[in-house]
Chains A and B, each alone.
Chain A
Amino acid sequence: MIGLNHYLILSGLLFTIGLVGVVRRKNLLMLFFATEVILNSANIAFAAASHYYGDLAGQMFAFFIIAVAASEVAVGLGLLIVLYKKHGSLDLDDLASMKG
């Protein structure tokens, strides 16, 4: 029988995948994708806890996470477009323009 533990471990695995992406990738758009993966793993954990404890608060938090993710994408993509106009690339290393 599938229990809460299964879902929590799955969520931890997905979070780890997203974390690997955030740490390893250098392209900013790839960083955004990895962030989406992380947010989705948190959503799964919330929904599973909500189901197995019979509590609706988890689903509410998942809704707010979705709202935050949507606004993050809107603002972030605007910033990425401005950055691309300025630098011509989306590489994180190009951002290190202030050499100390």
Chain B
Amino acid sequence: MNLQPSPADEAFRAEVAQWMRVHLGGRFEPLRHRGGPGDEEADPTLRKDWERELAAGGWTCVGWPKAEGGRGLSIEQQVIFHEEYARAGGPGRMGHIGEGLIGPTLIAFGSEAQKRRFLPGIVAGREFWAQGYSEPNAGSDLANVQTRCWQEADGSWRVQGQKVWTSLAHESDWIFVLARGEPGSKGRQGLSFLLLPLQQPGIRIQPIRQLGGGAEFNEVFFDGAVAQADHIVGRPGEGWKVAMGLLEFERGVSTLGQQMRFSHEFELVLRAARANGSAADPQIRQRIAQAWSGLRVMRYNALRMLAGGEGPQLKREALIYKYYWSNWHRDLGRLAMDVLGPAGDVVSDDPAIRPLQQLFFFSRADTIYAGTNEIQLNLIAERGLDMPREPRPAA
């Protein structure tokens, strides 16, 4: 165990910090600390420009191999990049789904032609992606996908069905979709992984208004929507493997960046508590200390995850992480509102209040998306403690 950074890492950190100082200003100034979860509707046009600014500096896809157009950073340097990006108040990344999900999927499972067609657009910040996994009846039970696909005589694919909770579909160019290609198949069998342009007659996008008033998610309806013949990733029927493959590679390099955002939110709560005097309340003080302790836990937990080495098995610290951070974040939202008191109950544009209200409302989603609390506890019990599995439908 060694917490000392190497001189090379320190130099790299300074380089990123300097770049952010120079570039996240001027017309990009309003984007500071904007566009994160719960705030994804903040100025998408300017945020797309920001993606191109990043691309010009070589700061998109920093973890991808150089051969695929990435920067080829080591794990340590990726962590540093994400930390410094967040520390500088770098905005929520419009290119996240492309860079973090579909890009690595294509690198692992895509054909040469697919890589040539799609990777450069992602690296350059030109093409933006949405994820089409969840459906009205395929949430926690994701394998229960009902959206159908079939191949026409000319080889092209058609998609029929509905996806839901699709972040930023209305701002994206492409969507990747998990659809059932073998009629009568169940569960993980018979699924295919297709790439479709969103601007086409067979696709209708309808925003979903969230409890906080915003609408960053959508329903996406497919009515004979078309995917080109060669825009299937993996073979027909291999969709589940392709979709899940990514989870195996995830080592949490961006978690320390996420934690920088959490630290920033914590600072906002602390500032509010000092400003209105609630920082003198012994109960609030206990909760502030608890929230801060959670930040320490998450930092060291992430360092443990990163030290965990290669290998497909999720280690204990990785298994608990989603459950831990999402519940911590939800608690911070509650603390924020309790610190604000009655002032929190009034809809506000005050920059000292609005982000805390957003935090309070949006963090309710944290314990639902990407594996609900209940699913997480099942996973922890089954994979972490070897307790008996829930009965699963026969595939």
Q: Do A and B bind each other?
A: no
B: which residues have CB within 8 A of A? none
| Residues on A facing B (Cβ under 8 Å) | none
